[in-house]
């Protein structure tokens, strides 16, 4: 896994240079305004949580092999169980997610301290381009085969809204 | 000389434990085990196939259900549509940027970068295009941007095709594997089923043999307990029947044919045998068919009846003498010129080993007294 993390192709170098250029340009460019908040829905109430606020409460950092990126990544986020309790008072039986790419899914079993809502990766805020602005990952995925991405279907990317299903 | 029998004995001693050990491995258990094996095989195969089917056909509706490449390509094509749509420049570019960002996120996956050479240049191309679109002084025409998206779209299409081919190959391999498993399952099932039937047939044959052997043993026991000439019980049967009626009040009647030797000498043994059969029938009928009849030896019969008192027993004896008199079987050598006559002695007793011995002696004594008194009569002693 470490070998994969340290590998950088010539194209990777080119992308690195472009990323630097983007960072400079980002200061002056219009940002996609719609991807600046996470909608948390509880019944008829929708609360918009600013991504900056989410990043501020992201108090946990750990390093994890991300099977989608094929390398060790330093992830920073908030324990999802704690987040749910703060937002809904308790962990709802199920959650309905809508992503920025319009992917929708309803999943249960979130009363599990293993899930984290990630806002930063290797110190940089997640964007839609890096499958953000927020993403759900399992801090410990046991001995699941990292080559088989089907094993990681529950890692929800590009989350736009989270709705409690009671 | 002496060693041979010893060897035979030793071999018998060695085979006996083996026989005992395999006695419980019957054809029935082998048959049942075959059918159980068949069930296990079917369940195992079903359990094997189900997860495989899950792996190939249950991926719709989740993250990797639809190829990431397909979704990414669709966003790039959406971006092209937005750029070509008749709408204000800024709206078109914003929408295109959003779609390209989404496409980038879905495209930038390790497995694509690792396996498809076109991925890295395409991502660089998208990066570059995004920069150009996001600059305030936009450096690229909308139409040019549309054209530059074709290279990444071509790459994604290539990935889709390869992935589809791979999925097709995997499904073909799975299909072939399933076909082979089906063949194994079919032939193995047939074989096991046939084995089960053969074992069952052997079990049935064994049952029939055992049943036949039991019936033969039973018939042999019947023969051993009956008199072959008259068909009534023999002395052993009398003893066994009396013991089986432990503590019951019974009557024992001993019947002796008078001058039977002279009869045989006069008319021959075949005729004597016929007379014995006729007398057996007559004695049974005269005792109202309530008595068990036995032949104890040459010319001596015994009858066991229910007996509440000696008067009843006397009545039976009288009926017997009277019936014989009426039957009037001719006796050409009777010293008194009479037809066939009988001497009868009887007694009542309580069934049991000791009681029977005493009763037999008492009845025999009564019979003897009849004989010494001139035969052709009966006598019943008080309870033995």
Mind listing the pLDDT tens digit for each residue in B122-174?
Answer: 999 999 999 999 886 676 788 999 999 999 999 999 999 998 888 888 888 88
What does the block give as tokens for B199? Answer: 């074992």
Q: Tell whether A29 is covered by a domain.
A: no
Searching chain B, which residue's CA lies closest to the CA of residue A131? B105
The reported pLDDT for the residue numbered B137 is 64
Name the minimum distance, in Å, from the CA of B183 to any CA of chain A.
30
Cβ–Cβ contact B259 with A under 8 A: no
Q: Tell whether A62 is covered by a domain.
A: yes
DSSP output for chain A: -HHHHH---HHHHHHHHHHHHHHHHHTTSPP-GGGGEEEEEETTEEEEEEHHHHHHT--EEEEEEETTTTEEEEEEEEEHHHHHHHHHSS--SEEEEEETT--EEEEE----TTEEEEEEETTEEP-TTTT-S-EEEES--TT--TT-GGGGTT---SEEEEEEE-
Provide the CA B84 distance to its chain's centre, in angstroms.
79
Asked if residue A131 has pLDDT above 80, the reply is yes
Distance in angstroms (rounded) separating the CA atoms of residues B41 and B20: 31
Distances (CA, A) of A12 to A6, A8, B133, B134, B336: 11, 5, 21, 21, 143
- CB atoms closer than 10 angstroms to residue B380: 26
SS3 B350: strand
- CB atoms closer than 10 angstroms to residue A130: 21
The DSSP element (H or E) to which B331 belongs, if any, is none
- Please report which confidence band the pLDDT of residue A145 belongs to, taking 50, 70 and 90 as the band edges: confident
Chain-chain contact of A105 with B62 (C-beta, under 8 angstroms)? yes
Chain-chain contact of B131 with A153 (C-beta, under 8 angstroms)? no
Q: Tell whether A28 is covered by a domain.
A: no
Please write down the long-range contacts of B235-241, taking CB distance under 8 Å and 24 or more positions apart: B235/B294, B235/B296, B235/B297, B237/B294, B238/B292, B238/B294, B238/B296, B238/B302, B238/B304, B239/B356, B241/B292, B241/B304
Mean pLDDT computed over B36-45: 83
Residues B242-298 have pLDDT tens digits of 999 998 999 999 999 999 999 999 999 999 999 999 999 999 999 888 899 999 988
The reported pLDDT for the residue numbered B166 is 83
What does the block give as tokens for B140? Answer: 């690229």
Distance in angstroms (rounded) separating the CA atoms of residues B334 and B252: 27
Q: Tell whether A71 is covered by a domain.
A: yes
Residues B321-371 have pLDDT tens digits of 999 999 999 999 999 899 999 999 999 999 987 889 999 999 999 999 999
Q: Are A47 and A40 in contact (CB under 8 A)?
A: yes
CATH of residue A81:
3.90.420.10
Asked if residue B64 has pLDDT above 80, the reply is no
Asked if residue B90 has pLDDT above 50, the reply is yes
Distance in angstroms (rounded) separating the CA atoms of residues B133 and B135: 6
Chain-chain contact of A156 with B63 (C-beta, under 8 angstroms)? yes
Range of the domain at A74: 37-165
- Please report which confidence band the pLDDT of residue B116 belongs to, taking 50, 70 and 90 as the band edges: very high
- Name the residue facing B135 among A25, A70, A156 (closest C-beta): A25
Cβ–Cβ contact B71 with A under 8 A: yes
SS3 B379: strand
Q: Tell whether A2 is covered by a domain.
A: no
What does the block give as tokens for B177? Answer: 């594997």
What does the block give as tokens for B196? Answer: 């089960």
The reported pLDDT for the residue numbered B289 is 80
> Chain-wide mean pLDDT for chain A?
81
First to last CA, chain B: 59
Asked if residue A12 has pLDDT above 50, the reply is no
Q: Are B260 and B343 in contact (CB under 8 A)?
A: no
Burial A62-84 (b: 16+ CB within 10 A, else e): eebebbbbbbbbebbbbbbbbbb
Q: Tell whether A27 is covered by a domain.
A: no
Strands A159-165 and B292-297: unpaired
- Among residues of chain A, what percentage have pLDDT more than 90? 59
Chain-chain contact of B111 with A149 (C-beta, under 8 angstroms)? yes
The reported pLDDT for the residue numbered B49 is 66
Name the minimum distance, in Å, from the CA of A26 to any CA of chain B.
9
Cβ partners under 8 Å of residue A140, min gap 6: A114
Q: Tell whether A15 is covered by a domain.
A: no
SS3 B246: coil
> For chain A, how many structural domains are there in total?
1
Token pair 């992917």 is at which residue? A103
Cβ–Cβ contact B107 with A under 8 A: no
* Burial of B97 from C-beta contacts in 10 A (0-12 / 13-18 / 19+): buried
Chain-chain contact of A14 with B108 (C-beta, under 8 angstroms)? no
Could you tell me if the ipTM is greater than 0.90? Answer: no
Q: Are B103 and B73 in contact (CB under 8 A)?
A: yes
Name the minimum distance, in Å, from the CA of A144 to any CA of chain B.
15
> Chain-wide mean pLDDT for chain B?
86
Q: Which residues of A touch B71 (CB under 8 A)?
A: 101
Residues A58-73 have pLDDT tens digits of 999 999 999 899 899 9
Residues B181-214 have pLDDT tens digits of 888 888 888 888 888 889 889 888 988 999 999 9
Distance in angstroms (rounded) separating the CA atoms of residues A102 and A75: 24
Q: Tell whether A9 is covered by a domain.
A: no
Cβ–Cβ contact B219 with A under 8 A: no
Token pair 């290797």 is at which residue? A122
The reported pLDDT for the residue numbered B62 is 45
Cβ–Cβ contact B124 with A under 8 A: yes
First to last CA, chain A: 40
Spatial CA neighbour of A18 closest among B76, B129, B147, B151: B129
């Amino acid at each position: 896994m470490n070998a994969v993390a340290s590998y950088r192709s010539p194209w990777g170098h080119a992308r690195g240079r472009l990323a630097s250029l983007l960072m400079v340009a980002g200061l002056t460019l219009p940002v996609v305004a719609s991807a600046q908040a996470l909608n948390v829905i509880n019944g008829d109430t929708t609360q918009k949580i600013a991504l900056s606020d989410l990043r501020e409460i992201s108090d946990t950092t750990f390093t994890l092999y991300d099977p989608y990126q094929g390398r060790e990544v330093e992830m920073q986020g908030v324990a999802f169980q704690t987040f749910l309790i703060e937002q809904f008072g308790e962990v709802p039986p199920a959650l309905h997610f809508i992503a920025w790419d319009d992917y929708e899914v309803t999943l249960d079993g979130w009363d599990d301290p293993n899930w984290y809502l990630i806002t930063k990766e290797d110190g940089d805020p997640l964007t839609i381009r890096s499958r953000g602005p927020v993403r759900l990952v399992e801090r410990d995925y046991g001995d699941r085969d990292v080559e088989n991405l089907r094993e990681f279907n529950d890692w929800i990317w590009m989350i736009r809204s989270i709705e409690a299903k009671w | 000389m002496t060693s041979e029998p010893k060897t035979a004995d030793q071999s018998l001693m060695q085979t006996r434990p083996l026989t005992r050990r395999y006695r419980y491995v019957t054809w029935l258990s082998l048959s049942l085990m075959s059918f159980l094996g068949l069930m296990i095989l079917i369940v195992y195969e079903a359990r094997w196939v189900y997860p495989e089917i899950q792996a190939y056909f249950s991926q719709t509706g989740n993250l990797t259900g639809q190829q990431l490449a397909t979704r990414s390509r669709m966003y790039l094509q959406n971006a092209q549509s937005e750029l070509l749509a008749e709408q204000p420049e800024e709206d078109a570019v914003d929408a295109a940027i959003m779609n390209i960002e989404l496409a980038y996120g879905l495209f930038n996956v390790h497995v694509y970068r690792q396996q498809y050479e076109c991925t890295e240049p395409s991502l660089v191309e998208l990066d570059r295009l995004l920069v150009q679109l996001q600059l305030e002084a936009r450096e690229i025409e909308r139409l040019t941007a549309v054209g530059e998206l074709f290279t990444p779209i071509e790459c994604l299409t290539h990935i889709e095709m390869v992935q589809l081919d791979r999925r097709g190959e995997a499904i073909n391999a799975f299909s072939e594997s399933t076909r082979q498993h089906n063949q194994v399952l079919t032939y193995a099932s047939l074989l096991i089923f046939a084995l089960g039937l053969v074992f069952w047939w052997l079990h049935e044959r064994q049952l029939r043999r055992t049943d036949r052997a039991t019936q033969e043993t039973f018939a042999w026991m019947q023969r051993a307990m009956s008199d072959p000439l008259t068909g009534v019980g023999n002395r052993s049967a009398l003893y066994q029947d009396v013991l089986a009626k432990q503590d019951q009040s019974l009557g024992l009647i001993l019947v002796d044919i008078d001058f039977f030797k002279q009869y045989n000498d006069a008319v021959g043994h075949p005729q004597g045998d016929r007379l014995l059969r006729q007398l057996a029938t007559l004695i049974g009928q005269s005792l109202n068919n309530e008595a068990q009849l036995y032949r104890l030896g040459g010319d001596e019969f015994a009858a066991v009846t229910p007996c509440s008192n000696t008067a009843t027993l006397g009545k039976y004896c009288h009926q017997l003498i009277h019936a014989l008199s009426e039957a009037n079987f001719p006796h050409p050598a009777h010293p008194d010129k009479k037809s066939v006559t009988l001497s009868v002695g009887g007694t009542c007793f309580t069934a049991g080993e000791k009681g029977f011995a005493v009763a037999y002696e008492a009845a025999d004594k009564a019979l003897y007294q009849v004989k010494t008194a001139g035969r052709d009569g009966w006598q019943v002693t008080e309870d033995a």
